Structure 1
Amino acid sequence: MTVPPDDRVFRREMATAYRSGWHFIDLVTAIPHRGDSLMVTLFGEPIVVAREEDEDVRAYRCLRRPRGAPQPVRCAIRYGMIFFAGPEGLRSPSAVPSGTA
């Protein structure tokens, strides 16, 4: 295994490797009740996964700028597990959370 000579090269290779596909976050049982939340870091971005008042599980990107509203990111529930839709789910302006499916 070779180590990339530059941090930019490493980041580009990681983005290419993880660009597509769904990635496991945690089990739904980690947030069993309304109002429960879980904070994770995915691809260097802080993400809050919360169980809303309507019992749906949604994910939000935590913005670092002042007064920034949480930005929804794509997530899905399958087989009792929470999945996230890769790094383009963070950057896509059309990314909307999905409920239980």
Structure 2
Amino acid sequence: MIPPDDRVFRREMATAYRSGWHFIDLVTAIPHRGDSLMVTLFGEPILVAREDDEDVRAYRCLRRPRGAPQPIRCAVRYGMVFVNLDQRDHQLFDPESSTATPRSA
């Protein structure tokens, strides 16, 4: 069997792992209103910010000219920030209520 080239391998890995919830950082990394954190996840720049209403939200930073940041799913659980880049309706399991609760930015 011929191993895949690096580009194909990276694309397949990103496709396989992109549709889940991914740990970004502890919520203490953005403790105050207006604080933000820029990370790269699967080659995409992601901005995680604490908004004026104290909620934590995440945005995909588009590279197109004049592109506005696109909101993505973001959840805070147990003091940790998670994001989901997939646009389908995925849910984050909430063990406290034993139900899945959709969270969106």
Normalised by the size of structure 1, how large is the TM-score?
0.78
Which protein has greater RCO, CA pairs closer than 8 Å, 6+ apart? 1
2:45 maps to a residue whose letter is: P
Counterpart of 1:32 in structure 2 is 31
The structure with the largest alpha-carbon Rg is: 2
Over the aligned positions, Cα root-mean-square deviation in angstroms equals: 2.3
Counterpart of 1:53 in structure 2 is 52
Structure 1's unaligned 5+ residue stretches are none
| C-alpha distance in 2 between matches for 1:93 and 1:62 | 19
1:24 maps to a residue whose letter is: F
Structure 2's unaligned 5+ residue stretches are 91-103
> Kindly tell me: are residues 28 and 17 of structure 1, through their superposed partners in 2, closer, same or farther at Cα, counting changes over 3 Å?
same
Larger relative helix fraction: 1
Larger relative strand fraction: 2
Identity %: 82
| C-alpha distance in 2 between matches for 1:65 and 1:71 | 12
Number of residues of Structure 1 aligned to a counterpart in Structure 2: 91
CA shift for structure 1 position 76: 0.3
CA shift for structure 1 position 19: 3.5
